[in-house]
Amino acid sequence: MQKCKLLSIACCFSVCVLAVQVLILKTLLQKEEKIEIGADISHEFISTVLSLSFKHNVPLFIIDPKFFRRIHKASESDEEKCYFLCSSEKMLHLATIGPVSSQLQKNAFIEAVEGDSYKVWQFSGPDPVLLQHGLNSPVPLHYLLSDKLIIIHISIFYERPSKFWWTGGYHFKSQDLRDFYIKGITDEDLHLITKPAAFEKVEIHSATINKVKVFVPVQQEVFLKYPSNTNFIECNYTQARKFHETYGRDESDSAEIFRSRALKLLTKATRLLDQLQVPFWLSSGTCLGFYRECGFISHSKDVDIGIWIKDYKPQIVAAFSTHDLPLTHSFGKVEDSLELSFIDGELKLDMFFFYEEDTYVWNGGTQARTGKKFKYMFPKFHLCWTEFLELKVRIPCETEDYIKANYGPKWFEPIKVWDWKASPPNVLPNGQWPVEEWPEVIQLLPLPEQT
């Protein structure tokens, strides 16, 4: 009798366990079916859009950082599951080169997408190249194409005079941003739409992904690193015109000669530092000239750049010297207040090295006659790209804060009398070099004889 009771209890327990297992399996199968159906719908949408792009001669290539990270990190089985988008992702980023297809072809492509009952948003903005000449001519910047599940973002790339690809940013209204967040769109996704960016030009070749033809970049690391090295700030041409209308523009022969020589010097320095893979930015008066006038300050008589001390390489001096830019002075040392100056004829290039602290950054200065040290303090900043006189260079992203630290709240007003050790509002005394260190930290080098 006792055995029968135990057998009955065991049977009931087994039936209950089996029922729970069946229920769990049924739930999992239902979830898997939904995921597969969702993936099929998204894949169909992506396939349709790419097919229409080929049909209307609007070539699209992948720029999505998530896609490239997945390729570089995921296993083969993961790649088979995701293809263009994983289940948690809601936006796929593509791009096209603006001039490759005509606006009529782009319009036909968009109309075809809408004809398949997909939703389309188009966003335009001014062309900065024309804006600097006073022409406010809108150009297409971004398209958003949507089905019920995902959004395909198409960014329009334009080649700039400095031979890089530029894409403009579009500012959404607060309600639009909230709607995006509700749909699961991430800040990274929106950054690719709202922020201007500068990308190195890369080779594009065709590929087939899950039986869908698309173009992909050969140098994928350009997009894999986004946005750490693509943020872009345009020169404020409206502000520059206001400055020149208020204070005039020096068009004397000497000013024009200086601007021409300064640009050649900055171009050469850019090429040499790029070869050494030493990132730099426009600093001091050259940064002020960019921000205020979109050009060099004609009475400054030198070119100023900044470099993080962590990026210093001893090869800098040799590279500059062998390319007719001899070192004219070296102040400080790598551990403290390093500053180098190179000469190109009568024009000087000042290379300031910046040191990072917990709450601020600084560069040093040295008075050769007395050995006194000075410290120039700046709020922390990041680096962005800009196009300065058709030259792609870096600037502090927080440009105005950087300028105000160095030149004060009246930075917009031209000042022709400037004492480097007293005029800057961010300068502080920083002690004095010991006399026994002067031969090392105060080096005024004889220039090669002019032939």
pLDDT tier, 17 (very low <50, low <70, confident <90, very high otherwise): very low
Confidence at residue 25, expressed as pLDDT on a 0 to 100 scale: 31
Q: How does pLDDT run across 400-428, given as a tens digit for each residue?
A: 999 999 999 999 999 888 899 999 999 99
- List b or e across 315-340, with b for residues whose CB sees 16 or more CB atoms inside 10 angstroms: ebbebbeeeebbbbbbbbeeebbbbb
Report cis status (omega within 30 of 0) of the bond before 227: yes
pTM reported for the whole predicted model? 0.86
Confidence at residue 131, expressed as pLDDT on a 0 to 100 scale: 78
- Higher pLDDT pick, 41 / 335: 335
Cα(61)–Cα(48) distance, rounded to whole angstroms? 15
What percent of the chain is modeled with pLDDT above 90? 71
Burial of residue 255 (CB within 10 Å: 0-12, 13-18, 19+) is middle
Structure tokens at 372: 């006194």
Q: How does pLDDT run across 163-218, given as a tens digit for each residue?
A: 999 999 999 988 888 888 888 898 889 999 999 999 999 999 999 988 899 999 99
pLDDT tier, 74 (very low <50, low <70, confident <90, very high otherwise): low
Confidence at residue 290, expressed as pLDDT on a 0 to 100 scale: 97
Overall average pLDDT of the 334-362 stretch = 97
pLDDT(5) > 80: no
pLDDT tier, 447 (very low <50, low <70, confident <90, very high otherwise): low
Q: How does pLDDT run across 224-234, given as a tens digit for each residue?
A: 888 778 999 99
- Higher pLDDT pick, 173 / 430: 430
pLDDT(319) > 50: yes
Q: Residue 368 CA to chain centroid, in angstroms?
A: 38
Confidence at residue 8, expressed as pLDDT on a 0 to 100 scale: 52
Cα(262)–Cα(266) distance, rounded to whole angstroms? 6
Cα(157)–Cα(163) distance, rounded to whole angstroms? 12
Confidence at residue 449, expressed as pLDDT on a 0 to 100 scale: 54
